[in-house]
Amino acid sequence: MPTSPCEKRTFSLPREQDRFIDRLVRSGKYASASEVVRAGLRALEERDAAVERWLREEVVIAYDALEADPKRAIPAGDVFAAVRARHREKRSRKA
């Protein structure tokens, strides 16, 4: 993948993240700390794009449907009661 010209940045990381980067470089998965950071930023961009897609393609549609027909809505108390009942049922099967 062709890379665009690089800009230099200086930033601080918690010790755990610094060690994580060093482990990834030592493992041979990445050639440098910069490569690790670039891969992390690409993953973050992909995740943000996926969230945006989900919001546009699913959440907005569901919201619009509920706005058009509010009777379709399920009261939160009913939803939580159903979740609790399902959780109790699963726990009782494990016991």
Number of domains in the chain: 1
pTM: 0.66
81 within domain boundaries: yes
82 within domain boundaries: yes
pLDDT of residue 35: 97
Domain hosting residue 63, numbered range: 15-94
23 within domain boundaries: yes
Walking along the chain (95 residues) 10 residues at a time, the average pLDDT comes out as 80 97 98 97 98 96 94 94 96 87
pLDDT of residue 15: 98
2 within domain boundaries: no
pLDDT of residue 6: 87
78 within domain boundaries: yes
10 within domain boundaries: no
pLDDT of residue 4: 79
Torsion angle of the four alpha carbons 70, 71, 73, 77, in this order, in degrees rounded to the nearest 10: 120
3 within domain boundaries: no
**Residue 53, exposed/middle/buried by CB under 10 A (0-12, 13-18, 19+)?**
exposed
Pick the closest to residue 32 from 40, 44, 22 (CA basis): 22
Pick the closest to residue 33 from 20, 51, 15 (CA basis): 20
The Cα–Cα gap between 49 and 43 comes to: 10
